[in-house]
Amino acid sequence: MSHRIDSLPHLHLVVLAGGSGTRFWPASRRLLPKQLLALAQDPETSLIAETVRRIEPLCPPERVLVATGAHLVDVTREALPWLPSSAFLGEPVARNTAPCIAWATAIAARRDPEAVVMVVPSDHHIGEPSRFLEVLRTALASAEHAITTVGIHPTRADTGYGYIELGERVEGDVYQVERFVEKPNQSVAEGYLRGGRHLWNSGMFFFRAAEFLDAVRTFAPEVWSGIERIERAAKQGPEAEGEATRAAFAAFPSISVDYAVMEKATPLHVVRGDFGWSDLGSWESAWELAAKDENGNSITEQAVYVDAHDNLVIDRSSRARDKVVALLGVEGMCVVQTDDALLVIPRNRSQDVRRIVEALQKADKHDKT
């Protein structure tokens, strides 16, 4: 314990937990977004709890900040009961990642002017946690010199991610970032995979707080002015701070940290990472991660498969233990059930789940979204 704290005494972890959670409907809801679900192998632990636990060897609870929507603070706190209540930041309104990260970074810097900040999404899966921690140590060492991100070694020509093009090697797995690339089309993605100079953008960032806030002031002045306003008000007490935060968020542009800061910052480093990462983008990735039988069907106490292959069955209803889910003659299907909803969708259409949510809203069934 003492080694861990001594070695990174200024490290602050910022967990981004602002997800809206339509992709995992019906398990995810407006008030139960993806990061609060247990979607990886452990059926008891939410993704956000796994995220914080995974990094605990580097960062103790008192230096964790969790940024989520104001309406989600209570449920998020319940998912992370061992964190102090000062860990939870409720965004008055969602404004994408740049305002949120700047805000959390300013708070970390207020607590510790020498803060080094590590920003991670709350809803990803990491298959190899110890390799992940090694990459984090490398990224944190790099962050002494430059804002640093982690790029994931691509395993397929995925068109659903942004990519980071590698520049010159700095040392070991650390490279200069040549540029950020938007989601490519299929043939471009295939070229990236063959070329070996593009990594998936993981949305993780590592920096000295002061350096990042400088970059915000320089590259995103409309964000910086709100942060300054909050910091001034904070000196007058929590009430003034809360009011300034609401006003600042109302005025913030909705803008990603990639676009507002990262694409403009130099130098910018990227660490090449390969640690069984999945962004768990849809029910299809949940199937990929699930424990499966010899026919590729997810193993659950509830399911009975007859002449069925490569299916995912998830029953999150309160009566799941007393219920059987039977699939016959069905292939590649996701069947997901909660107390008030049931979804049946082919795995390869699972990225379209949001169309169900839209249809429910249109049908005035808001209680089901």
Query: What does the DSSP 8-state code read for residue 298?
Result: B
Q: Which of 186, 239, 344, 364 is in the footprint of a copy of itself by CB under 8 A?
A: 344
Using the minimum distance from each CB to a copy of itself, give the nearer residue, 169 or 323.
323
* Rounded (10°) CA dihedral 142, 143, 148, 154: 40
Whether 116 and 209 have beta carbons less than 8 Å apart is answered as yes
Q: With binding defined as CB under 8 A, does residue 363 bind a copy of itself? A: yes
Number of residues binding to a copy of itself, judged by CB under 8 A? 36
Rounded least distance, CB 335 to a copy of itself, Å: 6
Compute the distance between CA of residue 288 and CA of residue 261 in angstroms, rounded to an integer: 34
Q: Which of residues 295-324 bind a copy of itself (CB under 8 A)?
A: 304, 306-307, 319, 322-324
- Residue of the chain from 59, 220, 290, 335 that contacts a copy of itself (CB under 8 A): 335
Residue 353 corresponds to which tokens in the numbers above? 């789940």
Would you count residue 327 as binding a copy of itself (CB under 8 A)?
yes
Q: Considering the rule CB under 8 A, would residue 250 count as an interface residue with a copy of itself? A: no
366 scored as a contact of a copy of itself (CB under 8 A)? no
| Number of C-beta neighbours around residue 299 at 10 A | 11
Cα dihedral across residues 205, 208, 213, 215: positive or negative:
negative
Minimum CB distance to a copy of itself smaller for 93 or for 304? 304
- Is residue 31 a contact point for a copy of itself (CB under 8 A)? no
Which residue lies nearer to a copy of itself by CB, 138 or 369?
369
For a copy of itself, the closer CB: 31 or 324: 324
Stretch that binds a copy of itself, among 3-11, 49-57, 136-144, 360-368 (CB under 8 A): 360-368
Q: Backbone dihedral region of 276: left (phi > 0), alpha (psi from -120 to 50 degrees) or beta?
A: left
Among 26, 99, 121, 151, binds a copy of itself (CB under 8 A): 26
43 secondary structure, DSSP code:
T
Q: Which two tokens stand for residue 122?
A: 């709350």
- Only one of the segments 124-132, 205-213, 261-269, 336-344 lies at the binding site for a copy of itself (rule: CB under 8 A); that segment is 336-344
Residue 250, H or E segment: helix 238-251
Residue 298: CB minimum distance to a copy of itself, A: 13
Burial class (CB in 10 A: 0-12, 13-18, 19+), 112: middle
Length of the chain: 369
Distances (CA, A) of 184 to 269, 273, 284: 22, 20, 20
* 210/320 with CB nearer a copy of itself: 320
Query: CB-wise, 125 or 347, nearer to a copy of itself?
Result: 347
CB distance 137 to 275 below 8 Å: no
Q: Does 30 engage in binding with a copy of itself (CB under 8 A)?
A: no
Q: Which is nearer to a copy of itself, 156 or 319 (CB)?
A: 319
Q: Which is nearer to a copy of itself, 150 or 325 (CB)?
A: 325
Distances in Å between the Cα of 256 and the Cα atoms of 100, 169, 263 are: 9, 26, 10
Contacting residues toward a copy of itself, per CB under 8 A: 25-26, 304, 306-307, 319, 322-330, 333, 335, 337, 339-346, 349, 352-353, 355-356, 359-360, 363, 365, 368
